[in-house]
A and B are shown apart, each in its own frame.
Chain A
Amino acid sequence: MGALWYLIWTQTRNRVVRQAKRLKQPKYAVAFVLGLAYFWFLFFSPTQTDGRAPISDDLLMIVLPVIFVVTIALTWLLGSDRSALAFTRPEVAMLFPAPISRRTLVLYRILHSQFAALFSTIIWMLILRKSTSDLPAFARAISVWLVFTTLSMHRLGVALSRAGVLERRSRNLLKFTPALGVLLAVVATIAHSVRRDWTLLTEADGLRALGTQVLSTLELPPAGIALLPVRLIFEPLVASGLGEWALAMVPALLILVLHVWWVLATETAFEEAAAEVSEKQANDLAEVRARMHGVAKAKQKDVGRTIPLAPIGWPGMAILWKNAVWVMRTNQIRSLLLAPAIVVFGAIVFGDGGSISTIIGAVAAALGSLLLFFGPGTMRNDLRADLQRLPLLRTLPIPGNELVAAEVLTGTLALTVPQFILLGVAVWMLRGNSIAQFTDPMRVATIVTLLPLLFSLNAINFALHNGLAVMFPGWVRLGEKTAGGFEMMGQGILTSVGTLLALVLLLILPSIIGLSVGGALYALTQSLTLAIVAGGLATSIGLGTEAWLLILAVGRSLDKLEPLQVA
C-alpha cells in the first residue's frame, strides 16, 4: 500500500504544481483572478450575504435525498457507474500486472476518490454557509463529506458488482439478487405510496400544492420507511446542536461502514472469480478493465447503424458526420429523445387540460430548461473530446474556424430538437396558467420563434464550452465524459461558472435588440403575435452573429494551440 500512497501523494502534488505553473501564462492568471473575484462576490460579498434568504434545512432534507435517490436509481438502472472503477490507462498498465491484491487496488480507488469528495465538500460548504443550521462549520463539513463518501462507496459497490458479473461472462443475475431485491422493494413501496395518494396528487391545485403533496407522500410510511436509510445519511447535516449531530452521526457512519464492507466483500468475490479464469481470460479481463476508462464503447452490433457521407463537399461536414455517428452509437440519441417522447405521449393522452396537463407542461418546461442550460455542458461530442486527438486535427486541411463550426454544429443540432419539443409542449400545455392571456396564435408564434432562438442559443453555448476548452485546456476536463457522480459536482460547478457568466453577458445585447424590435413592431401594429415573432427572430439573429464571431475567435485560437498545451 506504501507505493500506492506514494502514487496518490506525488500525483496530487505534481498536479497542483502544474496548475500553479499555468498561472504564469497571462490568460490563466487573468481567468484565475476573475474566478476568485466571482467567488468572493458570490459567497462573501456583503451585498450577497446580507440580503439573501437563508437555505432552509427542511428544503435541504427534501431536495438532497431526492437527488441522492435518483442518482442511486440511475446508477443501478442505467449502469452509468463504470467511471467509479475508472483506473487510468497507466494505472491499468502498471498496477494490474504488479503483485498487488485486488482488494488493495479497490482501497486505492477509494482513497483516490477522497480528493474529489474533499474538494466537493469545500464547495458545498460555501454554498450551504447561509443555511439555517446552527452547527459548527467542522460538523457540517464532516456531514457533507459523509454524504459524498457514502454515495461514492455506493457507486463503487454497484460498479464492482456489475464488473464481477461481466467478467465471469455470466448471465446469472443471482449475484445481483440481494441488492436488486432491495432496490425493487424501495421502488415498490414508493409506487404503493404514490398509488395510495394518487387522487390527492392529481387534484393538487398548482405546482406548490403538488410539491407539498409529493413530499408528504414520500415522508409517510411505507415510502418514508423505505427511504429511511437515505434520510439517516442526511440527518447529521440538519441536526441542531452538537449533541444531536453526534447522535445522528452514529447511524450515518454505520451506513458508511456497511457500504465499505459491501465494497470489499464484492471485491473478494470478484477476486475469487478472477483466479479461476485462464490466462487468455485474464488478458480479456485487463481489456475489459481498460475499457472501463470512460464511457461505454460502441458495441459491434451498433456499427450496422451509420449515416451516408458524400465524398465531395464542405470538408467540415466530415467532422459533423463523425460526431453524428458517435451520438448514434453511444445511445445518446435515445437519451435525448426519451424525455420528449414521454412528454409528447403525455400531452396527447392528457391534452384536455386539468392538473395532469399542467404537470406535464411544468415537467416539459423544467426538462427543456435543464437541457437548454446544462445540455451543452454534458454533451461533449466536440472539441472537448477531440482535443485529445489534436495532432490528428492539426494535420487535416480544414481551417480552425470551420472545424470549430462543425464541432459546435453537432451538439447544437442534437440538442435543439429535443429542447424544441419539450419547450413547445410546455408553451402549449401551460395555457391555463401563468400565460393565460396568450391567445392560440400567440402561442403558435412563440413555438415557431423557439426554433431559431434555441438553435442560436445552443450554438453560442456550445461555442463557449469549446472556446473554454481551447483557451484553457489545462483547466477544462477533456474527454468524452464529465467527471461522474454527485460527489464530483463541486468540480462541475467550478468549471460551469465561467461559461454561465459569459453566456449571461452575451445574452444582454441580443435581448436588447429583440425587445427593441418587438416593442417597436408592437407600437406600430398593436399585434403581439407579430411582435413575438419579430423580437424572437431579431434576438436569434443577434445570438447567431455573436456565436459566429465567437466561432471565428475560437478557430483562431485553435490554429495556434499546440499539443503540449493540451497534454
Chain B
Amino acid sequence: MISVQSLTKRYGDFTAVDGISFDVAPGEVLGLVGPNGAGKTTTLRCLAGIIAPSTGAVLLGGYDLQQSPVDAKRTLAFIPDEPHLFDYLTVEEHLRFIARVYGVADVEQRIGPVLEELELADKRRSLPDELSRGMKQKLAIACGLLHEPKTLVLDEPLTGLDPGGMRRMRATIAARARAGTAVVLSSHLLTLVEELCTKIFVIRRGRCVAYGSLAQIVESHPELVGRSLEDVFLALTGEGESAP
C-alpha cells in the first residue's frame, strides 16, 4: 500500500510539488504522467525517501516514511531512470549486498532466477564498467526485485532497455502487481501507462490535474470521450494547445 497525503515539496520560493494526494492499493499500478518539469521525479524521490517532503506525508506498507523510515524503506524498491551502481562490485555482488541490507536469507536460491529473468546470468562476474547501459538498468531492476518488495516505485522503467527487455520488464511489472505489490511508475511512454496502469495521476506544474482510472478521467471530461490517451494527456496538460 502506498499512500501520499497532501505532499508538497518546495525549493526556496519554487514549489515543485503542490499538495498532491493519492493511494495505491496492493495489486494496483499507478501511472504518474506529466510534461517535463511537472514534478514527477520530485514526487517519486519523495516516495523513495531520497528527499524529504516540505509538508505532507508518505506511507509505504503502512509505515510513515518520515516517522519510521527504516521500516518503510524495507518494503520499498525504487528503480531510478539512471542506475546508481558501485564500481567495484560485480553483478552478483550487487545482489549479495542488497540481500544483506534487506535481510534476504535465501539469497542463494533467489540470485539464479533473478539473473536468468533479467538475462544477466552470464554477466554475474562482470563489473558495472563492463555492462552496457541496458544491462546496468537490468541490474538495478534485479537489485530492486531481489527482496520481493511490497511497494515498487519506478522512474522511466524502460529507459535503456532493448525491445525484448522492454517486453520482459512490462511482464515483470504486471506479474509483481498480480502478486500484490503496489506499483507507482512514471513514464512518457503512454502506451506503457495504458497497458499496465490501473490508475493514472496527471501532474502539471506540481499539481494534480486528473486522477483515477482512464475511464473515470474521461468520464469527468466529456469532451475527451473517444480520444486516444495521447490526446487526453495533451489536453489535460495543456501541451496540445501550442501544437501545430
**A interface residues, Cβ below 8 angstroms from B:** 291, 297-298, 300, 303, 306, 309-313, 315, 317-318, 321-322, 325-326, 329-330, 389-392, 394-399, 559-560, 562-564
Contacts and interface: CB of A to CB of B under 8 A. Distances in A.
Contacts of B98: 318
B206 interface: no
19 contacts: A291-B129, A297-B87, A298-B88, A300-B130, A303-B90, A303-B126, A303-B127, A306-B90, A312-B100, A321-B100, A322-B93, A325-B88, A390-B50, A394-B49, A395-B73, A397-B71, A397-B73, A399-B70, A563-B45
Contacts of B48: 391, 394-395
B59 interface: no
A245 B69 CA distance: 65
A326 B51 contact: no
Contacts of B69: 397, 399, 559
Contacts of B86: 322, 326, 389
Given A311-B103, A317-B100, 5 more contacts: A303-B90, A315-B103, A318-B101, A322-B88, A330-B88
Contacts of B103: 311-312, 315
In the A-B complex, the 8 residue pairs with the smallest Cβ-Cβ separation, listed nearest first, are A318-B100, A397-B73, A392-B84, A326-B88, A397-B74, A394-B50, A311-B99, A311-B107
Contacts of A397: 69-74, 101-102
Contacts of B87: 297-298, 326
Contact of A391 (B72, B84, B96): B84
Contact of B101 (A298, A326, A398, A562): A398
B203 interface: no
B90 to A, nearest CB: 5
Nearest to B110: A311
B52 A560 contact: yes
Interface of B: 11, 45, 48-52, 69-74, 76, 78, 80, 84, 86-90, 93, 96-107, 125-127, 129-130
A322 B89 contact: yes
B53 to A, nearest CB: 11
A322 B70 contact: no
A364 to B, nearest CB: 31
Contacts of B88: 298, 322, 325-326, 329-330
Contacts of B125: 303
Given A297-B127, A562-B51, A396 B84 contact: no
B70 A391 contact: no
A559 B90 CA distance: 28
Contacts of B96: 309, 311
